[in-house]
Structures are given as structure tokens and as C-alpha cells.
Structure 1
């Protein structure tokens, strides 16, 4: 089997279509079909089920893809390495929305100063999308607020973030030195949507203390929640990174939590990924950025 067979298979798998793969690879459709047939005959397996005009990967095809996508990716990295990749290539970084908004711009600016000829491509999206991009080898490194859910991804903590309790500027709890989740739960609660990293951490805190909370508001927008708190519609517990500016401007007030809620921010990559020198340098930069100042 050749690298050509692997590239064709990966494209067909990702596009879920022989026609679209042929277009992407600038090949005739029969050539793509033949390459898949040759793979199946060589290994004595069926990679795709044909149902009418549609195809779907078999269980064996799913497992074969895990190998093929990284064989292709590794070859591409060898090519880049041999062409002085670390000086003139491309580093592809994915980040969750929180990190992409508040941390990544500073990291990329500092990194670009060190590697001025390196092209850095950034994709900011949900943590689950960052994981998917790593699995499909469409990015090199990811930065997310949670532990990766996929078993093939490795995580390296690079800094900590805390959750902040915020209330309106004239709220009754303002005079408190600290506040518990139980005390906050007596007031209308405004929360991020289920599935978000901050919401999962907060729900875990409520569960640990056996507190039942029905949110008055749920929103995918942190700023919508902050503005609602500022208008006196309720209280919230949000990542400090996201509300630091609003607290400093006095839009909302912060009250320390009696039991701090912290989380690790992680650099993630695929366990089969070949880490080039510039990728290692980026990981080191992230660690230095997140290291507490003595």
C-alpha cells in the first residue's frame, strides 16, 4: 500500500463521499473508487458500506482511519521538517473561546516575535471542536479549559483559572467578606449553557454541596449574563478571566467564594503527534505565561 492510497482513504472518510474526495484531490472518480477497492482487497476488510449513492465507514474503517490520518500527517510533517519547517512553516493552533479571547492573542504576539518567519494559523471554537480538529489532524496544538474527553489526546496544564461570584453593585451581599454557593443560590441564578466548561465546573460544585439550582437565565453569551447581573436580574459565578474587566470597571461587584473553585487550563495534542521544536517552544511559552509570579 502506498501513501497515495492513505491520502485517498482519509479524504473519502472526511468528506464521506467519493465524489467530493475526487474533487478535493483533483482525481477522476473511478481512480478514487479503485484506490478504496485496492485497500479493501489488500487487507481483506470492508472500509465503507455502500447504501445507494451514499457511503458510511464501517467499524473497521473507523479504526483504520485512526492510523491512516496520522500516517499522512506524519509524512507531511517530515516533508515540512526537511524544508526547514521550524523557521518558515506553519503552526496551527486551536483554542476554546475563553482562552482564544483573553489569553491566546498575547501568546501569539510573543511567539511571533520569536519566530518572525513562521506562519501561525488560529482557530477559536468550542472545546469539543478543538478536540475534533486534533483528532482529524487539522490543527497541531489545542488550548482548552477542561480535560480532553478523547482517550487519544494528551493534556499538559499550563495555568489555573478561578471562578468568580459576581453580583449587582447594590446587592445585599456586597458587605460580605465571602459567600458560599448555598448563600448565592437563594437569589435568582444566571448561568452559562449546559455543556460549557464553566457550567460543568459550577454544576459539579453544586452537586458536591447537594444544592439544587434552577437557573433563571441560561445563555451562551457571558456578556449577556454580566449585563443582566449589572441590571439587578440575579447573581452568577463565571470564570474570572471573562469578568475581570467588568469587575475592574465597576459594572458588577465580585465577592470571594468561601471555597474557591479552580480549574486547569490545558495544552492538548494527539498522542501520535510528532512535536516539532517550534511546537515544543510554544508549549514552553504557554507554561511560562501561566507560571505564578513570586
Structure 2
């Protein structure tokens, strides 16, 4: 039994079809089928059932899955540890767009100033996706907004941000400085996708006050949301870090929502069992110094 068998098994589970797993792994479908058959023969169990042309994982497959993931993750960590023995400065990092367009560049500049060149691969996504990518060993570290409840993650607060309600110059509310929640009733809200920390926190405030806003536009990109608000298409909740330029230029305005201030911590996160190469330790130390 090899790591290859486990990788194929995991791919079939995640893709739901052997053909799609073959496409993901760039191998033939017969090779996928053979690997699954070898796994089943080795453990003397049935891992999948085909019902109505649909591939479904069995109870024994469910039992094997977490162990297969752990085995692959341990292998990936071992590979990375050995490759990092030469002290190649390489980091795979996931951040939100708020972090990616603000503090990330400062951190990377500071790292290179102290330690030298750094080969960085950056993925911009929401917190939930970054957590998933860290768990699957596709990212080393994440810098995310809010608090991560996953006990498998180490998290280090590095700075604080505030979510603010913004409006464009052509919107009637632009003339206001302070508004009430009642004034938001039936206004158009341009929001982030489901699972976004920004969206979840603001929707909870609306729910607590029985306020309904129209959700005509959902977008994964905060930059696109800024442009939509500037064109008067609605209101939005955005990180104060990413709207400073627009506020200074007057194309966006922050509306103070009664006496509500929505602060959130920016955290550096990584898996608690992650092997920390020298470059990763140095980057974490740099983030710790920023927190202090």
C-alpha cells in the first residue's frame, strides 16, 4: 500500500466520479479503478458502491478517509521538511483581499529586508477556504479576519481592523454622517459571499434588530464591491483598511451606524501539526513582532 493509493482514494471521494478523479490527477481512469480495487483487496472491504450510476462511499470508506488524509498530510510534511533542509525561503500563503492589498506587502517587504529574498505563493480567498487549503496541505500559513474556531489551528492575533458601512457619492445617504438601523430597512446591500466574515458579522447585527435589506448583488471580490458602491448601486460593509484612498478622494463615505463599532482581529493561522521550516518560523516571528 502506497501514498499514491491514498491520494487516489481521496480524489475519488472528493470528485464523486472516477473520471473526474483521473482528470484531477492526470492519470487514466483504468489506473484509478485499479488503485481502488487494490485498496479494497488489501483491506478486504468495499470502499464504494455504485447506485443508479452514482458512486457513493461506504461505511468502511468513511472509516478509512480520515486516516488516508492524515497519511497524505504526514507524507507532504515530510517531503517539505526534507526539501527545506537546504533552507530554500519558500512560503505558500493564503489571505483575504483586505489583508492581501494592505498589510501583506508590508510584512513581505519587512521579511526580505531582514532575511533576504522570499519565494512567496499567495492565494486570495475567504477565511473558510483558506482553512480548508491549510488542512489539505496546499497552504502553509493564512492571514485571515476574525476568529477561527477550528481547534486544529494555531492562531496569532497580529493587528485589528474595523468593518464600516460605506456609501457612494450619488447615493441619497451620502449626505448623512450618522444613521440608524431603521434607515437601512429595504436599502440595497452589496455583500460578500456566504461564509465571509464581513457578511456574517453584519447580518447578525441586522437579524438582532429585525432589519431586512435587499440583497441584489453578492460578490467574492471586495474591489468589485467598492466600484459598485461608488456607482451608487447600494451600500456595503467593508474593511476600513481597503477604503482609505476612496474615502480621502470622496468617492466613498463612511456612515456611522448609531454607536456600533465592529472591530475584528486579523490572525495568522497554521495547522498545529505543521512542520515549521526556518522561513516559516521567521515569518511567524515577524508577525508576532507586529502584534507587539
So what's the TM-score if we normalise by structure 2?
0.76
RMSD, matched Cα: 3.7
- Cα displacement (A) at 1:231: 5.4
Distance 1:95 1:82 in 2: 26
- Cα displacement (A) at 1:142: 2.1
Q: Would you say the 8 A contact 1:184–1:235 is kept in 2?
A: no
Q: Would you say the 8 A contact 2:184–2:213 is kept in 1?
A: no
Tell me the residue number matched to 1:164. Answer: 164
Q: Tell me the secondary structure at the aligned position of residue 287 of structure 2.
A: helix
Q: 1:215 to 1:21 in 2, by over 3 A?
A: closer
Cα-to-partner distance string for 1:151-173 (whole Å, 9 max, x where unaligned) = 64454333221012334569677
Distance 1:169 1:138 in 2: 42
Q: Would you say the 8 A contact 2:181–2:211 is kept in 1?
A: no
Tell me the residue number matched to 1:97. Answer: 97
- Cα displacement (A) at 1:198: 1.4
Q: 1:180 to 1:151 in 2, by over 3 A?
A: farther
Tell me the residue number matched to 2:260. Answer: 259
Cα-to-partner distance string for 1:214-251 (whole Å, 9 max, x where unaligned) = 23753425455545555566554422122222112222
Quick check: 116-125 or 198-207, which moved more? Answer: 116-125
Q: Would you say the 8 A contact 1:74–1:273 is kept in 2?
A: no
Tell me the residue number matched to 2:213. Answer: 214
- Cα displacement (A) at 1:123: 1.5
1:285 aligns with 2:258: no
Distance 2:197 2:98 in 1: 10
Distance 2:108 2:60 in 1: 40
Q: Would you say the 8 A contact 1:159–1:265 is kept in 2?
A: yes
Q: Tell me the secondary structure at the aligned position of residue 262 of structure 1.
A: strand
Q: Would you say the 8 A contact 2:95–2:124 is kept in 1?
A: yes
Q: Tell me the secondary structure at the aligned position of residue 88 of structure 1.
A: coil
Tell me the residue number matched to 2:130. Answer: 130
Quick check: 211-220 or 133-142, which moved more? Answer: 211-220
Q: Number of aligned pairs?
A: 288
Distance 1:226 1:233 in 2: 10
Distance 1:158 1:139 in 2: 19
Q: Would you say the 8 A contact 1:86–1:276 is kept in 2?
A: no
Q: Would you say the 8 A contact 1:86–1:278 is kept in 2?
A: no
Tell me the residue number matched to 2:79. Answer: 79
Cα-to-partner distance string for 1:237-280 (whole Å, 9 max, x where unaligned) = 42212222211222223344422111222333334433334323
Cα-to-partner distance string for 1:4-35 (whole Å, 9 max, x where unaligned) = 44344344445555566567768776665444
Distance 1:2 1:168 in 2: 57
1:140 aligns with 2:171: no
- Cα displacement (A) at 1:204: 1.5
Contiguous gaps of at least 5 residues in structure 1: none
Give matches, 1:1-294, under 5 Å.
1-14=1-14, 16-18=16-18, 32-51=32-51, 55-85=55-85, 87-88=87-88, 90-116=90-116, 118-148=118-148, 152-168=152-168, 176=177, 179=178, 181-182=180-181, 184-185=183-184, 188-193=187-192, 195=194, 196-208=196-208, 210-215=209-214, 217-220=216-219, 221-223=221-223, 225-227=225-227, 229-230=229-230, 235-257=235-257, 258-289=259-290, 291=291
So what's the TM-score if we normalise by structure 1?
0.76
Q: Would you say the 8 A contact 1:92–1:120 is kept in 2?
A: yes
